[in-house]
Structure 1
Amino acid sequence: MQITLAHDDNSEIVDTLIAGVREFNTAHMGPETSQPLSVVAHDASGQLIAGVAGRTIYDNFLINVLWVDEQQRGSGIGKQLMQCAETEAKNRGCTMAQVDTLSFQAPQFYQKLGFEIIGTVPGTDKSPERYFLLKKY
């Protein structure tokens, strides 16, 4: 056996690792039903101004990112995007949504949408507190 440190973002290695996890999961949970789920908004000129992206897998909606252009924040567009994404997740059979966010980002936003904080990672000198949130449907 030889252990080495990978210094780059080798997608082939990552893909092999993910395939191994998927094989293990399938043995315990059945075939994976993972699908990407993204909802985006563009302005009149076609410029991307907001979006939410994640995956539905088994009965979970895993939210990877939600972004709203600074000039659009507070307009309700983030809420609209989330409602649309959650409706699609429910249509795919999801019974819950999960997200993590930093303390200065959006924990209150998600809580207003019905998410509950289910865990935290304490902040450090170089990183703010991280919140893990869950919403059951």
Structure 2
Amino acid sequence: MAFSQLAAWPARPPIQPAEKRPPVLPHHIRRSRVSDAELFPGIEHSAGLAFREIPALAWVADGDDLPNSFHRRLILEGMSWTAVDDLDLPIGFLSAEMFCDDLHIWELSVHLDWQRGGVGRHLIACAVKDAKAKNLASITLTTFIDVPWNAPYYSRLGFEMLDRHRLAPRLADVLRQEAQRGVRSGNTLRHASAPLQGGGRVNIITCHGLSPAQIDEIENKLYAFNSAVIGRDDAHSIGFVMRDETGAMLAAIAGHSWAGIAEIKQFWVDSKHRNRGWGCALLGAFVAEARTRSVRRVWVATFDFQAPMFYEGAGFVRVAELGGWPEDHAHIILSKELI
């Protein structure tokens, strides 16, 4: 949402100049909701306007905001907090992500009208509290060194500067990517958040023989997450089976359609009944069903020793070939455009 649209929010009393504001403006922090993500870019843009006070960093005010899909993913993972006013309208947010024993803050933004009122400090406090509850080792972020409301601000909140020449690979990669985008005056800060005594750690249990029901449960949870992130909850299975008069399975194809695509997950023809055109018939039935669902393309993955030429003969095109999967062979991904 563009910053100009934020002016359409319900009216509230004008914000006092910084020198006349109370120490803490009235607000509270809650877990972010997916609907909040639509407002985050506007808040981020507004927060960036403060950089116009620094000529060398004025470009930050016009920089790219994080995409809504990125925010939605972190919200669904429970790693985002929103500061709201007394009308429950978002006025600031913190988006973070867990990496093993660390919580990395990707973005902390407070609407310009609400800055210097304790909002950012309270958002950080919520992230620290959550990190401790999860027994994480530290909280990390990158920021500008010499900007008063950046590195010095975080230092007052307990963060410490890390030597950029001795960073863990993950943090070094973050700085490298920022440098590639033209951000060269940043550095990494780390907040040592000591684990809570007797915290609720969970155990990793060996379970190599997951049942089909357990695997389905995992798939359902993954689908719930994925569909919520992209806003498409239209998945349906596709399947065709060939059986003899006794009911024995001789050939089958199975997959699904979702979000404008279809994917073939399993395709098998009994070796004693190959070269009879059954494979072509099943593949044709799958593609025809996908068309009725307005699918744009069909995807399939196969090995080099399976059926890549069969699919190519049916109009599929190689999109990727991954060598060494399995060893001495290749994993091939193909796609067929339908629309």
Q: TM-score, normalised by structure 1?
A: 0.84
1:7 equivalent in alignment to 2:207: yes
Q: How big is the shift at 1:58?
A: 1.4
Match of residue 258 from structure 2? 57
Identity %: 26
Q: Distance in 2 between matches of 1:48 and 1:117?
A: 30
1:31-58 residue CA offsets vs partner (Å, 9 max, x unmatched): 3111111011112332211010001111
Match of residue 279 from structure 2? 78
Q: Distance in 1 between matches of 2:215 and 2:288?
A: 34
Higher gyration radius (CA): 2
The SS at the match of 2:251 is: strand
Aligned with residue 45 of structure 1, among 246, 250, 254: 246
* Aligned residue type for 2:266: V
Q: Distance in 2 between matches of 1:127 and 1:5?
A: 33
Q: How big is the shift at 1:126?
A: 3.7
Q: Distance in 1 between matches of 2:248 and 2:226?
A: 39
1:96 equivalent in alignment to 2:287: no
Q: Which has the higher contact order (CA 8 A, sep 6+)?
A: 1
1:67-112 residue CA offsets vs partner (Å, 9 max, x unmatched): 0011111111000001111111111121110010011111011111
* Aligned residue type for 2:239: S
Distance 1:17 1:48, change over 3 A: closer
Q: Distance in 2 between matches of 1:13 and 1:76?
A: 33
Aligned with residue 68 of structure 1, among 269, 288, 299: 269
* Aligned residue type for 2:237: P
Q: Distance in 1 between matches of 2:258 and 2:318?
A: 21
The SS at the match of 1:90 is: helix
1:6-27 residue CA offsets vs partner (Å, 9 max, x unmatched): 43327658736752x4454334
Number of residues of Structure 1 aligned to a counterpart in Structure 2: 136
Q: Which has the higher strand share?
A: 1
The 8 Å contact of residues 240 and 285 in structure 2, kept in 1 or not, is answered as yes
Q: TM-score, normalised by structure 2?
A: 0.37
Instruction: Name stretches of at least 5 consecutive residues in structure 1 with no aligned partner.
Output: none
Q: Which has the higher helix share?
A: 2
Q: Is 30-39 or 116-125 further displaced after alignment? A: 116-125
Instruction: Name stretches of at least 5 consecutive residues in structure 2 with no aligned partner.
Output: 1-134, 136-200
Q: Distance in 2 between matches of 1:93 and 1:18?
A: 23
Distance 1:30 1:105, change over 3 A: same
